[in-house]
Structure 1
Amino acid sequence: MKIARFRVADGPVRLGRVDGDTVTDLSDVPGVGSSLRAILPELDSLRATIETASGAVHPLSDVVLEAPVDDPQKYLGIGMNYAAHAEEARQAGVPVPENQMWFNKQVSCIVGPYADVERPAVSEQLDYEVELAVVIGRRCRHVSRDDAAGVVGGYLVANDVSVRDWLAKRSPTFTLGKSFDTHGPLGPWLTTADEVPDPHDLELSLTVNGEERQRARTDDLIYDIYDQIEYLTTVMTLMPGDILATGTPAGIGAPTGSWLKPGDVVRASVEGLGSLENTVVEAR
């Protein structure tokens, strides 16, 4: 099942079921409302109703897709978690961490799958990172690796947009360099976990103006999704709607100085989950 947040023209944001190239409005389904985060813990009980709902149907080309979850309590990302990317970093003189290395992206960075991404006035070192993102489906703490699949609500495509000089020099905790406004495109919809038989066997890719920059499979993850959930829930309670960006593969712009510039169109895709397409603009 694929669930989107969308609006028609300047109308209110609604939830909808995505089927092929259409979205069915779920506004009249009791208990659904307009917040995906709010219904995540109830998706199992709502599934039959959502799957058979017959609200207004809109072509996807006629609606504006919003970030499927725009109000998570936490948006966490893991660094250097693909083997090829870690080697890329090592060759550039960046030490490879011995354990999972997590950072915060402030939730105010989140934008929709086709929203503009701003190049900030304070830096030209704007970089891209295609990632598979996990959306937590229920409140959980101290989750074992064996039980971790059961707390996943679904999956999204993420572009972990990064301002490299702010990561390396201005904010050594990563938080600021990862959290500029508009630097968290997510979407295009939530694909529920039951539709992703093996999240560790998916292809990711990213192009800039049609030129391929990244391509890899999630079997190159150093710490897989279930390792990540076990590690994080040792420390904190994860809540419905929390987003985990699981790492980016090799091919980022930093090693060659291939920074994004205004006018660039960045397309990030994950097999079976869809694509984001964001245009870079000067900060307003």
Structure 2
Amino acid sequence: MKTARVAYGGAIHSATPHEDGLKLGDGRVVGEDAVVWLPPFEVGTIIALGLNYADHVKELSKELTVTAKDEPLVFLKGPGSLVGHNAQSRRPKDATFMHYECELAVVIGKPAKAVKAADAMPHVAGYTVCNDYAIRDYLENWYRPNLRVKNRDTCTVLGPWFVDAADVPDPHALQLRTLVNGEVTQRGSTADMINDIPALIEYLSSFMTLLPGDVILTGTPDGVVNVNEGDEVVCEIEGIGALRNTIVGDAVFGR
């Protein structure tokens, strides 16, 4: 089942797909453009993975000090970074290289503490699409993400749908792609994750308790390119959805 969260008529509603747009929880049917799309679930802690696809590590190899023995590269993001489907992401005027990252987002459904990989998947409620923008100009310490790179307002896009885990038979066999202004610029498969979902849950739950609504952003494959003001970016994941947003400049945000 696919569900969304939207703002419409001064209230927040759950919604499901309808042939004429969206069917709200109260039964009304509205057009997709008539609502403000929100992240499709109540988001808890945002846990993001860097360098979790081998081809992306190779793509950035000149900048890295990472080795195969390193633990997963994990960082946290605040709620101010989040926007939903069809939203705008700000590109600061001093940026010379801002890129998208199409990622499978894993949503935790029940608490996980010291969970072994073999027991991890029942803790997953479902999935959504994430586009986690980065501004490479601000990198420090060889691609160890810092706040200015990865925790920026409007630069973590989630949605449009939350898809129940039961409806995704194998989350490690999904095709990903990104389109910029209609042109495919990134392709990949979740089969190529270095650390798969059970491994990530085992690792994270070994030192922190994962709670319902927490979301794990599982990384992106290679193919990241610079995006500019006015660009429309669509991140698609097979069976999960197509997440669209637009890049805008400082003036839109009064900066």
TM-score normalised by L of structure 1: 0.82
| Counterparts of 2:183 and 2:149, CA distance in 1 | 25
Identify if the C-alpha distance between structure 1 residues 221 and 122 changes in structure 2 by more than 3 Å, giving closer, same or farther: same
Question: Which whole-Å deviations, capped at 9, do the CAs of 1:251-278 have from their partners, x for residues lacking one?
Answer: 112xxxxx21111111111001111111
- 1:248 aligned partner, one-letter code: T
Matching of residue 25 in structure 1 with residue 24 in structure 2 = yes
| Counterparts of 1:218 and 1:144, CA distance in 2 | 21
Identify if the C-alpha distance between structure 1 residues 242 and 105 changes in structure 2 by more than 3 Å, giving closer, same or farther: same
Question: Which whole-Å deviations, capped at 9, do the CAs of 1:114-158 have from their partners, x for residues lacking one?
Answer: 101100244232111100101111122111111111111110000
Matching of residue 266 in structure 1 with residue 233 in structure 2 = yes
Task: Specify every segment of 5 or more residues in structure 2 that has no aligned partner in the other structure, as ranges.
Answer: none
| Counterparts of 1:156 and 1:66, CA distance in 2 | 12
Q: Partner of 1:38 in structure 2?
A: none
Pairs within 5 Å for 1:23-62: 23-27=22-26, 55-62=27-34
Identify if the C-alpha distance between structure 1 residues 209 and 200 changes in structure 2 by more than 3 Å, giving closer, same or farther: same
- 1:112 aligned partner, one-letter code: G
Identify if the C-alpha distance between structure 1 residues 147 and 22 changes in structure 2 by more than 3 Å, giving closer, same or farther: farther
| Counterparts of 1:93 and 1:116, CA distance in 2 | 29
| Counterparts of 2:215 and 2:108, CA distance in 1 | 7
Pairs within 5 Å for 1:207-246: 207-246=179-218
Matched-pair contact (CA < 8 Å) for 2:64–2:142: no
Q: Partner of 1:158 in structure 2?
A: 130
| Counterparts of 1:268 and 1:20, CA distance in 2 | 22
Displacement of 1:169 in angstroms is 6.3
Identify if the C-alpha distance between structure 1 residues 143 and 21 changes in structure 2 by more than 3 Å, giving closer, same or farther: farther
Q: Which moved more, 1:17-26 or 1:243-252?
A: 17-26
Matched-pair contact (CA < 8 Å) for 1:106–1:175: no
| Counterparts of 2:20 and 2:108, CA distance in 1 | 26
Q: Secondary structure at the match of 2:137?
A: helix
| Counterparts of 1:274 and 1:59, CA distance in 2 | 17
| Counterparts of 2:148 and 2:209, CA distance in 1 | 23
Q: Secondary structure at the match of 2:147?
A: coil
- 1:189 aligned partner, one-letter code: W
Q: Partner of 1:94 in structure 2?
A: 64
Matched-pair contact (CA < 8 Å) for 1:167–1:178: no
Matched-pair contact (CA < 8 Å) for 1:89–1:96: no
Q: Partner of 1:85 in structure 2?
A: 56
Displacement of 1:24 in angstroms is 2.5
Q: Secondary structure at the match of 2:126?
A: strand
Among 184, 191, 196, the alignment partner of 2:156 is: 184
Root mean square deviation, CA, Å: 2.0
Among 37, 57, 65, the alignment partner of 2:37 is: 65
| Counterparts of 1:20 and 1:187, CA distance in 2 | 19
Task: Specify every segment of 5 or more residues in structure 1 that has no aligned partner in the other structure, as ranges.
Answer: 28-54, 254-258
- 1:234 aligned partner, one-letter code: S
Q: Partner of 2:7 in structure 1?
A: 7
Displacement of 1:96 in angstroms is 2.7
Matching of residue 127 in structure 1 with residue 99 in structure 2 = yes
Q: Secondary structure at the match of 1:176?
A: helix
More helix by share: 1
Q: Partner of 2:75 in structure 1?
A: 103
Matched-pair contact (CA < 8 Å) for 2:18–2:29: no
Matched-pair contact (CA < 8 Å) for 1:139–1:240: yes
| Counterparts of 2:174 and 2:219, CA distance in 1 | 13
| Counterparts of 2:173 and 2:158, CA distance in 1 | 20
Identity %: 39
Matched-pair contact (CA < 8 Å) for 2:5–2:14: yes
Q: Partner of 1:45 in structure 2?
A: none
- 1:94 aligned partner, one-letter code: L
Q: Secondary structure at the match of 1:232?
A: helix
| Counterparts of 1:197 and 1:171, CA distance in 2 | 34
| Counterparts of 2:193 and 2:117, CA distance in 1 | 15
